[in-house]
Structure 1
Amino acid sequence: MADALVSIVLERLTSVLEQQIHEQVSLVLGVESEIQSLKNTLRFVRDVLEDAERRQVKEKSVQGWLERLKDMAYEMEDVLDEWSIAVLQFQMEGVENASTSKKKVSFCMPSPCICFKQVASRHDIALKIKGIKQQLDDIERERIRFNFVSSRSEERPQRLITTSAIDISEVCGWDMDKKIILDHLLGKKCQEKSGLYIVSIVGTGGMGKTTLAQLAYSHSEVKVHFDERIWVCVSDSFDPIRVCRAIVEALQKKPCNLHDLEAVQQEIQTCIAGKKFLLVLDDVWTEDNQLWEQMKNTLHRGAAESRILATTRKESVVKMMRTKYKHPLGELSLEQSRALFHQIAFSERSTWEKEEELKEIDEKIADKCKGLPLAIKTLGNLLRIKNSKEEWKNFERDISPALLLSYYDLPPAIQRCFSFCAVFPKDSVIERDELIELWMAQSYLKFDGSKEMEMVGRTYFEYLAARSFFQDFEKDDDGNIIGCKIHDIVHDFAQFLTQNECFIVEVDNQQMQSIGFFKKIRHTTLVVRESTPNFASTYNMKNLHTLLAKEAFNSRVLEALTNFNELIEELPKEVGKLIHLRYLNLSRCGGLKKLLETICDLYNLQTLNIQLCSCLQKLPQAMGKLINLRHLENFPSHDLKGLPKRIGRLSSLQTLDVFIVRSHGNDECQIGDLRNLNNLRGHYYGDREWPNWMMGSSLAQLKRLNLEFCIRCPCLPPLGQLPVLEKLEISHMHGVKYIGSEFLGSSSTVFPKLKELITFRLDELKQWEIKEKEERSIMPCLNHLIMQDCPKLERLSDHVLQRTTLQILDIRSSPILERRYRKDIGEDRHKISHISQVKCRWI
């Protein structure tokens, strides 16, 4: 985390200086030189952080040094927030003055009062920077005293290369798993006559996949059964040449000097021709089918009883390899965990006199490992040489350091993203998109301009998921991970990395009085266990960067942050003092009715989540000041009375779940106010009447349109007059009971380019009729019609069925339609007999 913070501060120092030059806003003389000196010192410090973070586990003085460095980095980041805000306020006040001025001038000078405030503010910032520079100089002097090793002088440790060697004495608890694997390898379960028989062991990191493969590989029956045994550690990079050369070296028992893939493959085929071989591919990650096929095609010259045994963490790899048998590996039982830990921790001792004394602690440590073999073996080996009861108790209190090896295997940018997960309570479901927004808010994602920041975050998330830092995945219909959990041990480790920074605060009336040391908290989740009206808060969280208060706002939660002690149904105005806040989640806060204007002073805010705040009626007019806001998550918005007009100024806005269109009110945002929000994503929530802009020329170039959850609208808009619309999707419009000519509009040719019409969950729709007094061309290009989950719809429009170029009709989960158009017995089946593809329960 220290490396992450220092890197972020360095980047921001550069960007703020550039902003100052660009905006021509000068600070007090001399600060620029202080900044340059700060940057140089931070670079020296950053070079030794990898060594420092390793040594903090055993050296308390190093841990203290890192804590002071992180505190300083956070202070510097907070000062940079103030600096950026000062510049933004200067800009905005100038814009406001210019917009209200009656004189037509090219610019407007701020008032003397404003200038005085700006000078005072910048002077205060300059003093803070100088103070931080002094602190950093002290930290730098300590750095020299610790004799840290610079990361420039040593390479990052590489992933451990596994081999077939195994110490049987350190293995227990896999007897049944081993038997099953052996049965498949030795042909007792299946006699494969052609092709390669592939067995895959799959499970999360540290579950013992490699150990199980080693047990099978070194079993006496396996040694006799196979003519050749080959062990290859594949790891992250699946390089066919490297893997093939490793196979040749294992077969010939000497180095392979061939470097051409074709030559190496021919050598393999010569060596295995007609022989039964067992090839173990340990730690397979690649999902590239082309690379795998290139590898697999080399192995077909072996005898029919040959086997490939692969270990992997990824289900997608199992499918890609066309595995014949998949063996999932889960956590060890409580008894297995204790037995394995005891076996390792008490081996190689000359005396067992302390065994009974340490037995109780032994079991507690094993139980804390929650069945994770990697943690059990790592801790067992660490404690093998520890004889002191106090040393064992220290490990019982915190087993997190044992996971440092896996953590340092991650790239630095992803290390900081993982450690931030400590802000979530144990066993909670972490939503992928929410986590990515949190990472973005802290500037944790490296942005190179080649793709959106959200996509960078998705890549980071998938990297951590693939390496088993996450588990218990929730997936969407397309198989994409959208949610996950973290193993308790891994969560403990994340908290170890972020102690004093990330907190989960459980609040009740008794605790309120006693928590006064949280002023250093930067990221917190508030969990309210009890709410009573009589308490005096002692919180001081003015330095917060992240606040998660899901389902917690009951007129009490945020009072704790700001010493505001009245019963309220709106955020207290003091929330505006949390100027470093980047992420504010108030979702499911059912009592919240209003956000005050002071929330618009949170210039650094990137995400505001007010989803399912069912009583929220109004958003503040000054929201245009939140120029860093990227995500306004406001679904659903039953009671929200429009959106403020200045939302159109939020040029960074990417997510707006619901846009509420009103035809009245000068202070309400109209659709035209969003014209410059080029990155915006979201759906129209709807009113009783469709807005005028949907009837005019503003959508003339639209090719695809989705109407979803417009639940207030009793009818469809006249979309038939859209000249180039090719695909129309309509779903979850529960107010629509009838589709008629109003849907067509007044054009001479209706839906002239429409190819696909898709409807889903129109629960109340009963009739679809086209009654025309004059003959018009209607949907002349329609090819694909879906009417799914329309349980009350009685029939389809005869005109659409018989006078269009319809080729595909899908009426599943619409029982009345399915009976009417059922083959042989449906009364209107003849009306769709010309359609080439009809999808329903009864074809």
Structure 2
Amino acid sequence: MYIYVLTHFLFLATLIGLPFFPLQVDQFLMAEALISVLLEQLASITIQQVQQQVKLVVDVKKEVANLTHYFRAIEAVLKDAEERQVKEASVKLWLDDLKDVSNEMEDVLDDWNTEILRLQIETQEKEDGNALDTTKKKVCLCIPTAFFCSGQVSRVIFRRDIAQKIKDLNERLATIADIRQKFNLQYTKSSTEHIERQKTTSFVDQTFGRVDEKELLVGKLLSKSNPEGQSPIVIPIVGMGGIGKTTLSQLAYNDKRVQENFKDRIWVCVSDPFDELNIAKTILARLGGNVNSISSDLDAFFECLQKSIEGKKFLLVLDDVWNQDCMKWANLKLHLQKGAVGSKIIVTTRKEEVARMMGAPDNTINLKVLSDENCWSLFAGIAFANSNQDECRNLEPIGREIVKKCKGLPLVAKTLGGLMCCKKEKKEWQDVLSSEIWELHTMEQHVFQPLLLSYYDLTPMIKQCLLYCVTFPKDHVINRKVLIELWMSQGFLVSIGNKKKTIIDIGESYFDDLIRRSFFQNFKKDEFGDIEKCQMHDIVHDFLQYLTRNECLIVEFKGGEKRIELPADNKLSHLTIMFAPYSPFPFSFDHCQRLRTITTFNCKITSLSGELILQLKCVRTLNLSGNNIEEVPDEVGVLVHLRYLDLSSNRRLKKLPDSLCNLVNLQTLRVDGCDGLKKLPEAMGKLTSLQHLHAQGIRHLKLPKSIARLKSLRTLDLWVVIEGEGSGDVEGFRLSELRDMDELQGKLFIRFMGKLKDSAASDAEKAKLVNKKHLLHLVLAFNFDESKGNQSTIQEVVLNALQPNSNLESLQIRGYYGSTLYYPNWTSSLINLKSLTFSRCHVFYYVPLSVLGYLGSLERLRFERMFEVKKVGFEYSLDHQVILFPNLKQLEFDYFPEWEEWDHDENDATSSSPTCFMPRLSTLSIEYCFKLKTLPYFLPRKTPLLQNLIISRCFILSQSCKDRQGPEWSKISHIPNITIEAKIVQNDGV
């Protein structure tokens, strides 16, 4: 629906306009994909225009046809133009013109789309009648022009202006298409030339600190285990380019123990493409076969290969594998199975897909960076090879600082060591230390080449997503969801052909692809094992800075600077600001009005003026989080292209301007941690493009009723506060307003304040949580107040009315009031529930457990802060075989100060009960249960997988298990890891 796409020409023109290092980046393929997306978006706008029965652009089909013709004509010669522009200035100017027209066209098409969106909103308002009359006096929807004069909005965009601009740009594009013929640019097919890849051999040129990894690999090679009769066993080594996969393989390959174990050792540099014929030839040649006597037929080679290896125990190294075609691998492996038991194959690759495709997840070695000391040893061994002791001592302090730039990457250490070995003067070393890695000429060929190979292997769409990551500072912890929302704001997540995949689905797949190809590292996972955060290696960041150095800029304030002037005539699209001091916004954007991104990190900006806002006519992403901004100017409402606005952690911010509701293209709004913010603008319902609203950490944020109109909302990351009786908020947000938000994803937090109203159950039922199939995590919180009387009955009714979809994966219920812990009658329908938590529930006596035992997917069950509970029960009455809690792995009890006993049949400990409890339980945690005397009866014989027992601040129970001789010790003597108070016991099982 929205026009994101032409912004990608910014990256395209940048990269094809740079005198690149000796390797050529394939931008033609990227241009081809982007133009395809552009044409799809143009067609979409055409359809919308017809549906709206208006003519924003006269002869729209003709204009689209012309655009299609010209772009396809230009696309066909882009590859040739990219190669010639380095030597021919006229071709470079032609490409610059193409970039400028593309940028302007993007904005005009966005205006076109926005005008259609405005019409849709107007139509909806007419259909709703006078529903929004109360807010129209406060906020009028005005779609301002994309061009401003003297800091003031010149006038509203008229449809004829959009039409005229489309025609003008179409004519300019026609001229550019015609001029290409002057240069005699050659037509290039979509196929691409592969970058020349360095060949490897089994000879190792430099040993370095991989002692542990080498021993691990050698151990796997010498292992006699042969699971399920597999032969040969595959051992993949996975890691980013330059991390030492090949060197590690060489070290193991040449190890004396390995040489003695494998009489036949073969090293094959595979690279790309994966050529089975060449691989078979190499193996045969190393085994002494006469490959020249064999016909070039692949079957003939494979037949000879089988005969050559039959009965032999061999070691085969397939170095630098990129191929993901399982059929090619299966065909090769099939003919290697004639080798003797114990044969091994080492595969080095940058792609986790390759390791999985080869079916060896348990044997995979994921190679990490070197330690600082090992990195220094590698560097020093090269840099000081021809130096005397005095020179070494003199230069070592600077050298150690230089090594920090390597961030544990051996390829960089070796390259920098080679660079420094001929430099003997301190100043020369200091110059290298003060330079950025990407500014050092030697890095281009030796360090960036391997990274370029990985970059080259990405699809065009994923390339631009990776390039955008340079807007983060080095070492920044990247939040997965934030990154995907940023990609979305720039228009990088566009589905071509597959209409079933949502934009978020596309972003998730791109993120996962970059992980599998080792562009990200240092992963942090959530409770379900999904990657939540990550970082990018500094050298990857340097590489991206190199690729985007004319388009992306990171500005760091140092030494008390309060203002920096950006250079005139720059081509900036993305600006990152760091360490700006406590002062008004420290830039003017007079000379860079085509900015798409402005983002701040570790800044203390206090304000930004309306005049400044008016300079940002093209901005898509505005991140002002973590500053000290007290007020957002009304002029923010003119930023019609804005998709992403982050104001989070501006704790002095007290309100958002009503003009914010003019941002009809806004997709993401973040105000997390804005403590002073009490409510959102009344006309939020006009933000029909809004998909993600984040407002965590704000107490009692009032939502306007108009939010119910946001049917596209996917993320409502805040506490939906439902006021109780006596709040005085008659017109406040009601739970029933959620009824049409069926696209909600992720988490939903609902808090009931005070005494529940009589309408609470009816509103809860109207919320239709059961229809929200993408909602995976739900938190329901009641505010217990003894002065409000006993509300357990109405809480039960409300809970039962809030039935979620069966896709729910985690549920928390807080503050429930009653004599016995109540489980909603829909609990058994949660067939996908993995985590269940009850917190601060005011239960006076009893917590039954067995009722939850039929939740087959449940992995974690937690009870916390149950102040009055005296008994926890495992009661059951069954005469047939049943497994309760079949997949539960973690059971946790935290702060039960009155809990005294477990409720179960006293005779069950010795009876042959047909019931099986928690067969997969691995961790049991009992903390702050001061009066509990015993452990559950089933521990000795019904939890064979229990690995961890934690007993903390349970004074009576701790004494019963202490020193391996208390009365409860017999129940837990089989558990390997036991923590009593703060002491960890490594149990020998005796």
TM-score band, normalised by shorter chain: 0.7 to 0.9
Structure 1 residues 367-378: aligned runs within 5 Å: none
1:768 Cα shift? 3.6
Match of 1:449 in 2: 499
Q: Residue in 2 aligned with 1:684?
A: 749
Q: Supply the AA of the counterpart residue of 2:926.
A: S
* One of 162, 177, 196 as aligned partner of 1:140: 177
Q: How does 1:536-547 map to 2 (within 5 A)?
A: 545-547=596-598
Q: State whether residues 654 and 680 of structure 1, in contact with CA within 8 Å, keep that contact through their aligned partners in structure 2.
A: yes
2:508 corresponds to: 458
- Return the match for 1:71 from 100, 103, 106: 100
Task: Specify the SS of the correspondent of 1:662.
Answer: strand
Q: 1:616 is paired with a residue of what secondary structure? A: coil
- 1:645 pairs with 2:645: no
**Contact kept in structure 1, 2:614 and 2:638, CA below 8 Å:** no
Distance 1:397 1:506, change over 3 A: closer
Q: How do 1:379-458 residues align onto structure 2 when only pairs under 5 Å count?
A: 397=439, 399=441, 402=445, 403=448, 405-406=452-453, 407-447=455-495, 448-458=498-508
The 3-state SS of whatever aligns with 2:653 is coil
- The reply to whether residue 484 of structure 1 matches residue 548 of structure 2 is no
Q: For the residues of structure 1 that align with 2:573 and 2:362, how far apart are their CA atoms?
A: 47
Q: Once the 2 structures are TM-superposed, how far is the Cα of residue 221 of structure 1 from its aligned partner?
A: 11
Q: Which residue is equivalent to 1:29?
A: 58
- Assess, with a 3 A threshold, how the Cα gap between structure 1 residues 604 and 644 changes in structure 2: closer, same or farther: same
Aligned to 1:531: 582
**Unmatched 5+ residue regions in structure 2?**
1-10, 13-29, 132-139, 146-153, 227-231, 386-398, 421-427, 616-626, 766-796, 950-970, 973-990
2:207–2:251 contact (8 Å) kept in structure 1: no
Task: Report the Cα offset of residue 254 of structure 1.
Answer: 1.9
Assess if the C-alpha contact under 8 Å between 1:721 and 1:750 holds in 2. Answer: no
Aligned to 1:671: 735
Aligned 1:722-733 pairs, distance under 5 A: 722=826, 725-726=829-830
TM-score by length of 1: 0.75
Residue deviations 1:573-629, cap 9 Å, x none?
A: 111122111222223232222222222222222222222333322112222222222
Indicate which of 360, 376, 380 corresponds to 1:320. 360
- Determine if the alignment matches structure 1 residue 205 to structure 2 residue 269: no
CA 1:680 to 1:838, structure 2 compared with 1: closer, same or farther past 3 Å? same
Alpha-carbon spacing, 1:424–1:241, altered in 2? closer, same or farther (3 Å):
same
Which of 841, 848, 857 is residue 736 of structure 1 equivalent to?
841
Cα distance, 1:434 vs. partner?
1.8
Deviations 1:528-579 (A, max 9, x none): 4211369895568775544444665754257684279x99623221111221
Which is further off, 627-636 or 365-374? 365-374
Aligned to 1:585: 646
> Match for residue 349 of structure 1?
none
Residues 669, 693 of structure 2: 8 Å contact kept: yes
| Cα distance in structure 2, aligned partners of 1:620 and 1:815 | 45
Judged with a 3 Å threshold, the aligned counterparts in structure 2 of structure 1 residues 729 and 493 are, in CA distance, closer, same or farther, namely closer
Q: What does 1:330-369 align with in structure 2 at a 5 Å threshold? A: 330=370, 333=375, 336=378
Deviations 1:710-768 (A, max 9, x none): 66777799644448645678766654343669999xxxx99998778887554421334
Q: Secondary structure at the match of 1:813?
A: strand
Per-residue deviation, 1:205: 0.8
Is 2:868 the partner of 1:767? yes
Measured in 1, the distance between the counterparts of 2:591 and 2:677 equals 27
State how far apart, in whole Å, the 1-side matches of 2:827 and 2:225 are: 58
Contact 1:684 1:710 in 2 (8 A): no
Letter in 2 for 1:73: S
Q: Structure 1 residue 835: deviation in Å? A: 7.2
Distance in 2, Cα, partners of 1:183 & 1:712: 51
Of 564, 573, 577, 2:634 maps to: 573
Q: Which moved more, 1:69-78 or 1:662-671?
A: 662-671
The answer to whether 1:125 aligns with 2:168 is: no
Other-structure match for 1:596: 657
Residue 661 of structure 2 aligns with an amino acid whose one-letter code is: C
| Shift of residue 432, structure 1, vs aligned partner | 2.2
Say if 2:369 and 2:409, in contact at 8 Å, map to a contact too: no
Structure 1 range deviating more: 91-100 or 798-807: 798-807
Aligned to 2:314: 277
RMSD over aligned Cα atoms: 5.6
Matched, 1:512 2:573: no
1:359 match:
none
Measured in 2, the distance between the counterparts of 1:752 and 1:366 equals 56
Secondary structure at 2:524 match in 1: strand
> Equivalent residue of 1:531, what SS?
coil
Indicate the residue corresponding to 2:788 in structure 1. Answer: none
Structure 1 gap ranges (5+): 103-110, 344-361, 384-388
Partner residue of 1:610 out of 664, 668, 671: 671
1:144, distance to aligned residue in structure 2 (A): 3.7
**Correspondence 1:310 to 2:358:** no
Separation (CA, whole Å) in 2 of partners of 1:273 and 1:28 = 73
Do the aligned partners of residues 534 and 43 (structure 1) sit closer, same or farther apart at CA in structure 2, a change above 3 Å counting? closer
User: Does the CA-based 8 Å contact 2:672-2:696 persist in structure 1?
Assistant: yes
Q: 1:20 aligns with which of 49, 58, 65?
A: 49
Give the Cα separation in 1 of the matches to 2:714 and 2:255. Answer: 58
CA gap 1:50/1:712 in 2 versus in 1, 3 angstroms? farther
Q: Within 1, Cα distance between the matches of 2:712 and 2:691?
A: 5
Aligned in 2, Cα 1:659/1:70: closer, same or farther, shift over 3 Å?
farther
Matched, 1:813 2:873: no
Partner of 1:629: 690
- How many residue pairs match? The answer is 787
Name the CA distance, whole Å, in 2 between partners of 1:55 and 1:485. 37
**Residues 48 and 150 of structure 1 are in contact (CA less than 8 Å); yes or no, is this contact kept in structure 2?**
yes
Query: 1:612·1:635 contact (CA, 8 Å) conserved in 2?
Result: yes
1:119–1:372 distance in 2 versus 1, CA, 3 Å: closer
State the match for 2:207 in structure 1.
174
Q: What is the match of residue 267 of structure 2?
A: 231
Whether contact under 8 Å (1:558, 1:572) holds in the other structure is yes
How far, CA to CA, are the matches of 1:755 and 1:306 in structure 2?
42
Find out whether 1:90 has 2:155 as its counterpart: no
Amino acid of the residue matched to residue 397 of structure 1?
E
CA contact (8 A) 1:513 1:536 kept: yes
User: What's the secondary structure of 2:669's corresponding residue?
Assistant: strand
Is the CA contact 1:688–1:712 (under 8 Å) kept in the aligned structure 2? no
- C-alpha separation in 2, matches of 1:130 and 1:293: 55
What secondary structure sits across from 2:701 in the alignment? coil
The one-letter code matched in structure 2 to 1:532 is S
Deviations 1:385-405 (Å, cap 9, x if unpaired)?
xxxx9xx99997365865474
Distance of 1:462 and 1:632 partners within structure 2? 24
Conservation of the 8 A alpha-carbon contact between 1:245 and 1:258: no
Q: Aligned equivalents of 2:828 and 2:214: distance in 1?
A: 60
